[in-house]
Structure 1
């Protein structure tokens, strides 16, 4: 017991000063608090996404031999497919516009720290963000970079927008008004110059990027961060790409959206090769199949399902409540509520296991497949399906389900010491 306390004290002594220093930095505070604006939308949106993607592969469904449960699942799938746009509309306008919410929230929180007009600064940041990230064609607005794909741009725009507004005030670039002017009218008039300046600076910068690269700023950033696809064909390259994606998450960039096309495409291709071998009566041989990708995001990026289980039993009210709300989405590998709610973004304490856990799980899975302790994936299972269903559907082997559950407990062990340090700091904040 004394050794355990000594270990926690040493870990706390190293990590807590770093976490406290970063936590007290006003811009990082604004990012963390601003992202919490969208937490309810993330939670609700994730449920609609799950409902729109029932866990069944209709290509393997035979109505002549299926039982009542499979009939129900098939009917659900047909209903979801027929009404997909209507079902996913709440998702598209909650989680799908998380970047918009963050642009306002971060701008609002930073402005509040500076004791400015937080609502107006937040609206200016939001409007500027929309100009930089969207295109309008035939009266239709593109939603591509309004969700988690646009988080990094939202952070940049929100912080710089508020700083630009502060600079204009310091330079006395505002309209002087007599005291007799009503406050709301004064706010309206004094917002004209900041709004104009934001459009000129940020929208102008976006037009410059488009002129030089033929891409908008969000696309330019995405292309800049996308690694070579050839790396994903071996375990070390795969781990490198997954780790890169998780590193990006730690600075607020949707790393999964960047690495997903690479590792998912490789996984599907190798799973298809395994399926061809099984169809010929042969054993599958391709290790970098879709199962590897699913395990790299077991519970979401960073393998956070283990963290969620720890949070559910936490003494911290915030962490316990957030863990309980995130459990069902986490079963389906949707963990934005955890990433932005804890937050893990800009959090050096939880960031370490967030990087380590997927690496350990991938190495164990690669070894287990090599040693034939589990089956290689040869079926392309549906996305947004509870992990235990994916584990079985990818190979039709119950050993895989047991192995995936084991990986979750291993993730819990990896997160545990770091979580205890973070929980201790969180409890201090709640006591104050």
Structure 2
């Protein structure tokens, strides 16, 4: 009874905020545009996993390996030999995610304004490409065409449609004799919005590049990157991880900003632990790569708990999204949940998305310090299922049981917020009948 009262109070606070934000046309266009691009993330993530089988070849000894390790070693060898072919679908799906999202977001916003949605979408893509990439030795740089450029994609999509809307007003339309085919008139009237977008958006980008030497995405990321010296401590680490997760909540790929900081800390301390063990001493640092893996266990926000709830949801859409996202999320790739649920721009999930990693890191840190689990001393492969990473980091099955326990803890944290979201969807479905 008491839990129901608390959930009702929480729902009373969060539901009006969510409804107001959900009815805002720009946020609605962002959400719909992300959903439009979602299949590209899902498919791309599978190829990334296939290219990175869960085995550390430095630890592999064919003379003592069993059939399972031999299979993984053969898989790894095959992946390395054909990495270009395997990763091409990834490069052209997730690697171009911001391009697809730009078209989707601008297309849906243009529909809100009753504009020519496909034309507005392609104008936005052209504007985004001009500010988010550059030609290096005759080749187009793709650095900010994937999720790294998503924040810029959101800005350009919304701004471009507003410019197109302005120059699509009646007073700017070219008028000709009615005998002129509609296709010709549509072509002529699309020229002014396109030119206006190029002059305004690309012009600002050129001025910025001249002043700073940075592309627009580089400039924005340089502002967002924490300008502090990071202490190699639990609370400093939590601060950085939380900062990255806050960025995800507003559609910015936070891990891309904080990755180099927390990954470097993890790699350095894992190497120190390995050196101590090889010298017959005990591993000392709890701030090793294992902490990084736990920070992104199931992707940012500890979303493995949310995934389990979605798989049992009463809402068909959430169950389906959970099923198609399961393998990527288990391997630490959770963009399908962030943009598909959605978690980004959704105040209902903000609290558990921020709280779960904080609790996971605190518990993991002291579990290592108190000897409940082993300290990580192996640099395990990326994009490996979380339970395999838990074992490979320290070759201790206690670590596997530990991370499974964290997942259950995260289920309990996400549960009340998930039920509010699920109830909202069910109510909307009933109203639509």
1:215 is the counterpart of 2:233: no
Cα 1:232–1:188 change in 2 (3 A) is: farther
Task: Spell out, residue by residue over 1:270-318, the C-alpha distance to the aligned partner (whole angstroms, 9 max, x if none).
Answer: 1001111011011111111001110001100001111011001001111
Write the mapping of 1:256-295 to structure 2, written as runs, cut at 5 A.
256-295=255-294
Secondary structure of the residue aligned to 2:229 is helix
| Residue of structure 1 equivalent to 2:52 | 53
What secondary structure sits across from 1:354 in the alignment?
Answer: helix
Counterpart of 2:188? Answer: 189
Matches within 5 A, 1:38-77: 38-77=37-76
- Name which of structure 1's ranges 227-236 and 209-218 shifts more when overlaid on structure 2: 227-236
Paired position in structure 2 for 1:113? 112
Map 1:77-96 onto structure 2 (within 5 A): 77-96=76-95
Partner SS, residue 167 of structure 2: helix
Task: Find the aligned partners of 2:246 and 2:329 in 1 and give their Cα distance.
Answer: 20
Which string of whole-angstrom CA distances, capped at 9 and with x for unpartnered residues, describes residues 373-406 of structure 1? 1111000000000011100000011110000001
Within 2, Cα distance between the matches of 1:137 and 1:4? 58
How many residue pairs get matched?
Answer: 431
CA contact (8 A) 1:232 1:262 kept: no
SS at match of 1:392: helix
Please give the residue correspondences for 1:166-245 in structure 2 after superposition, counting only pairs within 5 Å: 166-170=165-169, 172-228=171-227, 230-245=229-244
User: 1:20 corresponds to which residue?
Assistant: 19
Is the CA contact 2:247–2:254 (under 8 Å) kept in the aligned structure 1? yes
Q: Which sections of structure 1, spanning at least 5 residues, go unmatched? A: none
Moved more, 39-48 or 3-12: 3-12
Q: Distance between the aligned counterparts of 2:356 and 2:100, measured in 1? A: 30
Tell me how far apart the structure 2 counterparts of residues 217 and 300 of structure 1 sit (CA, whole Å).
Answer: 27
Aligned position for 2:308:
309
2:61, 2:345 → 1: CA distance?
A: 49
Q: TM-score, normalised by structure 2?
A: 0.98
1:232 Cα deviation from its structure 2 partner: 4.8
Aligned twin of 1:160: 159
Deviation at 1:170, TM superposition (A): 3.8
Tell me the distance in 2 between the aligned counterparts of 1:76 and 1:217: 40
Query: How far 1:174 moved relative to its partner?
Result: 2.8
* Equivalent residue number for residue 254 of structure 2: 255
Q: Quick check: 1:22–1:28 contact (8 Å CA) kept in 2?
A: yes
**3-state SS of paired residue (1:345):** coil
Secondary structure of the residue that 1:72 maps to in structure 2? helix
Separation in structure 1 between the aligned mates of residue 199 and residue 44 of structure 2, nearest angstrom:
34
Counterpart Cα distance in 1 of 2:227 and 2:378: 26
- C-alpha distance in 1 between matches for 2:51 and 2:28: 35
- Contact kept, 8 Å, 2:309 with 2:411, in 1: the verdict is yes
TM-aligned CA deviation for residue 40 of structure 1: 1.0
Gaps (5+ residues) in structure 2? Answer: none
Say if 1:232 and 1:263, in contact at 8 Å, map to a contact too: no
- 2:321 corresponding residue in structure 1: 322
Deviations, residues 326-376 of structure 1 (Å, cap 9, x unaligned): 111111000010001111110000121111110011111111111111111
Structure 1 contact 232–266 (Cα < 8 Å) conserved = no
Partners of 2:244 and 2:254 within 8 A in 1: yes
CA distance in 2: counterparts of 1:255 and 1:187, whole angstroms: 40
TM superposition shift of 1:153: 0.4
TM normalised by structure 1 equals 0.98
CA RMSD of aligned residues (A): 1.1
> Structure 2 CA distance, aligned partners of 1:279 and 1:222?
40
Distance (whole Å) between structure 2 residues aligned to residue 172 and residue 256 of structure 1: 46
For each residue in 1:118-170, what CA deviation from the matched residue of structure 2 results, as whole angstroms up to 9, or x when unmatched?
11001100111011111113331111100100100000000000011112234
Q: What do residues 15-52 of structure 1 show as CA deviations (whole Å, max 9, x unaligned)? A: 00000000000000000001111111111111000000
Moved over 3 A (4+): none
Q: Distance in 1 between matches of 2:136 and 2:379?
A: 35
Kept in 2, the 8 Å contact 1:35–1:341? The answer is yes
Q: Which residue number in structure 2 is paired with residue 368 of structure 1?
A: 367
CA distance in 1, matches of 2:377, 2:254: 26
Deviation (angstroms), 1:228:
4.1
Instruction: Give the C-alpha shift of residue 229 in structure 1.
Output: 6.4
Structure 2 SS opposite 1:231:
coil
